[in-house]
Amino acid sequence: MNTTPMPDSLTASRPPLLRLLVLLTLGAVTIALWYLTSYLLRDMGQVRWYPESQGCQLSAGPCMAELGDQRQLTLDLGVRGEIRALQRMPLEVSLQGVKAERVMVDFVGRDMDMGLHRYPLSLEADGRYRGEAQIPICTETVMPWRARVVIETADGKLGSGFDFEVRGGGP
């Protein structure tokens, strides 16, 4: 019977520093993949952006953006007055001079990454696109948001963004 002791390298577990480095590397790869996926899902680099009308407040009513060549979009959050976190909002987008294949509204935090909150809208019989959305809760008492309307057409994507504030997130 061979009683030769096994080498220490085979019986010893990995050093704690090596385990820590492996965990940190896996964490960095996970974060990089999340960021890449988030960026690709938003695919906002392919959108021709147009400015919204100046001075419009979504909490007071619909806001409009000219998309050039006699085209325009109007966004209505369906809320009059204070917009609150977790409040259900009936979204409505009206288009003039644009034949859309698909319309969606993304909500993005203006000062803080709050993830992707995309709401596809359905074409209704009256020619308007409708859906329902909800702004997530945040740690801030007042959180600035941007509603980005993206219209997919046969010629590419058009879009505009509208700023608003949400109350009720923090203390």
| 35 and 113 assigned to the same domain | no
Q: What are the tens digits of pLDDT across the range 100-145?
A: 999 999 999 887 878 888 999 999 999 999 999 998 887 778 888 8
Number of domains comprising the chain: 2
pLDDT band of 4, cuts 50, 70, 90: low
- The reply to whether 4 falls in a domain is no
123: which strand partners? 129
pLDDT score of 31: 84
> Residues with Cβ < 8 Å from 119, sequence gap 6 or more?
91, 104, 105, 106, 107, 131, 132, 133
Q: What is the mean pLDDT of residues 68-93?
A: 91
* Residue span of the structural domain in which 94 resides: 48-167
- The reply to whether 40 falls in a domain is yes
- The reply to whether 37 falls in a domain is yes
- CATH number for the domain spanning 76: value is 2.60.40.10
Q: Is the dihedral of CA 28, 30, 33, 38 positive or negative?
A: negative
pLDDT score of 1: 59
pLDDT band of 2, cuts 50, 70, 90: low
| 28 and 74 assigned to the same domain | no
Q: What are the tens digits of pLDDT across the range 11-70?
A: 457 788 888 888 889 888 888 777 766 655 555 568 899 888 888 888 889 999 999 888
| 144 and 85 assigned to the same domain | yes
| 20 and 100 assigned to the same domain | no
- The reply to whether 94 falls in a domain is yes
pLDDT score of 19: 86
pTM of the model: 0.71
pLDDT band of 95, cuts 50, 70, 90: very high
pLDDT band of 8, cuts 50, 70, 90: low
| 56 and 137 assigned to the same domain | yes
- The reply to whether 1 falls in a domain is no
With contact defined as beta carbons under 8 Å apart, do 76 and 62 qualify? yes
* Higher-confidence position of 170 and 98: 98
Read off the tokens for 73.
Answer: 């979009």
| 106 and 126 assigned to the same domain | yes
pLDDT band of 94, cuts 50, 70, 90: very high
